[in-house]
Amino acid sequence: MLGMSVVAAMILSALAAPVVSGADSVPSEKITLDIKTINGSGCPAGTATASADVASDNTVFTVHYTNFTAKAGGGVSALEARKNCQINVLVHVPQGFTYAIAKAEYRGFAHIESGANALEQANYYFTGTAPTARVRHTFPGPFHGVWRATDETDVAELVFAPCGESRNLNINAELRADAGTSSAGSFIEMDSEHASVDTIYHFAWKTC
């Protein structure tokens, strides 16, 4: 039914140690990820599968969604207008390193009628910590095609995973569609069946 392959990793911590930038700060040992749970109205438990992968240079990871879609108008149930998908992942980090997420690039496909609009937003947190603020990206109609949105964190505001602790990372993405003044159907989705619709997260690394 609903499928999803995920490639994951991300932000947070109360540490204020200086960020180490440049190639020397990226661990050479291959980073691995374990997807623990996937849940939400956009990927109900028991209907989704996931696998994890990281770029060979340990700088980014990619998330592939399937059938993660919000719809509105055209007689669609109001329950379809707001969908979320939360991924819980454990990142295995080499000793002596920790990470944050410096940048997230979201991409998807949408058909938005004139008078309608759509929204993408996401936040992230480690288990036991407060979620980051949601950054809202809105898309007014008329629109048809691939949409793009970027969340980027200033170096001074990066929040790192606690050094030496194993904390699961939660990534919570949300899509909304609003028919507005349009009676026709509109939708926004993250669906890897469309070309160039992957979601890409960029690591920031530092030594502990």
For the stretch 111-160, pLDDT in tens is 999 999 999 999 888 887 777 778 899 999 999 999 999 998 887 778 88
Question: For residue range 39-75, what is the model confidence (pLDDT) as tens digits?
Answer: 899 887 655 555 567 888 999 888 777 778 999 999 9
- What pLDDT is stored for residue 50 in this prediction? 53
Kindly report the pTM of this predicted structure.
Answer: 0.81
Quick one: tokens of 200? 């890409």
Torsion angle (degrees, nearest 10) of CA 167, 170, 171, 176: -170
Q: How many CB atoms lie within 10 A of CB 36?
A: 14
